[in-house]
Amino acid sequence: MFTAPLSTPLNALNAEGHPVVWNYTAMSARPRSRGKKISGATAVVYCEANFGAIDGKTANGLVRHSEKYEILSVIDSEKAGLDAGVALGEMPNAIPIYRDLADALAHSGDVPDYFIYGMAPSSGMLSLRERGIVLKAISHGMNVVNGLHEFLNDDPEFAAASAAMNVEIIDIRRPPSTKGLRTFSGRIDEVTCPRIAVLGTDCAIGKRTTATVLARALNDRGVKTVMVGTGQTGLIQGARYGIALDAVPSQFCAGELEATIVDAFKGENPDVIIIEGQGALSHPAYSTSSFILRGSRPDAVVLQHAPGRASRCDFAQMPMPTPASEINLIQTFADTKVIGLTLNHENMTRAEVDAAITAYECELGIPTTDALTRSPERLVEMVVSAFPEIEKKAAAGAQ
């Protein structure tokens, strides 16, 4: 989720001189500490000239949340010297940004285990310069995590380099073999807990971030929640259940998502399943939202919108749709109900966010919040009000 720094009232300074914003994992404003090392695997994230921007959404997401890697640093020469949290307009997170790979390695002590390509360019391919940087990382003995549509294991130069250094290249978007792909079966009806999809009015608008915050908030309240990822960033972050939906042949998209959700339900016995959205149902360049609605058959939808965004990402000639029009389209296309609206606060002041929340709640008649600058309890309330059967568990978790 791209979050441009907000106005001074929202990012006021604390006693240590650090900007104070709402911590989306807690009820009070406080600096966030560096994420806990989960698996022991360390990583440097490459995001040249894009950290904090829309095409840097993979890197942005990783410094906010990663269950699989300890993020040591980010590479972006334009923001070198900054703390990654501050560069996102949030609290310091002790993840530094360095000028280049050499600088990052000089400050890391041991060579990091992984080099993660942290961008999602519209081309889906490495540039000639980036090829050299990835090969340099391999030459240092770093494994590579690649979320692009270009599969580096299929490239003779990368295959030879990784074999010579005995390192692994992980092509996140590579789908299972066609023989193993599954079509829609109707087994989604076996999933008896509420399924909530987080959809949006545009791509790169914060659907994954909101889904992550919502899942964490519900779990913190004792409501066992599993998030199903549908894109490369969620998988890199360590989602236990998920698939890069835009890399699957269209005939199998609904079936693969259905099967993944059934696996999550059978394996975890959750109270709620959250499904990460992709693209936007109204966006002519993407069809993934339609597959998510068909494959997951969600009981409810939370819609993400950016009031400060004038036009669609990468399509300046396309004005943003209104939440009302997207809600109407979703509820016409699928047998579901939009239960809440969440806002991406890019290009907005705190006062503008406050006004937007009030205006949308009056216009749409549904709860509205910003997952990153408001208490996560607002998200919990959205779900509890729509699904009273889980209210007792949420209430018990609050005690």
pLDDT one-digit tens code per residue, 298-332: 999 999 999 999 999 989 999 999 999 999 999 99
d(CA 43, CA 2): 21
| 157: number of Cβ within 10 Å | 11
Query: 6-10, 20-24, 192-196 — which one is most confidently predicted on average?
Result: 192-196
pLDDT band at 249 (very low <50, low <70, confident <90, very high): very high
Report the pLDDT value the prediction gives residue 39, as an integer from 0 to 100.
54
Q: What domains are there in the chain, each with its CATH number?
A: 12-171 (3.40.50.720), 179-398 (3.40.50.300)
Percent of the chain past pLDDT 90, that is, above it, reads 82
Residue (of 205, 258, 248, 226) closest to 372 by Cα position = 205
- Whether pLDDT at 12 is above 60: no
pLDDT band at 162 (very low <50, low <70, confident <90, very high): very high
Predicted model pTM: 0.84
Q: What is the pLDDT of residues 193-214, one digit of tens each?
A: 999 999 999 999 999 999 999 9
Mean pLDDT for all residues in the chain:
89
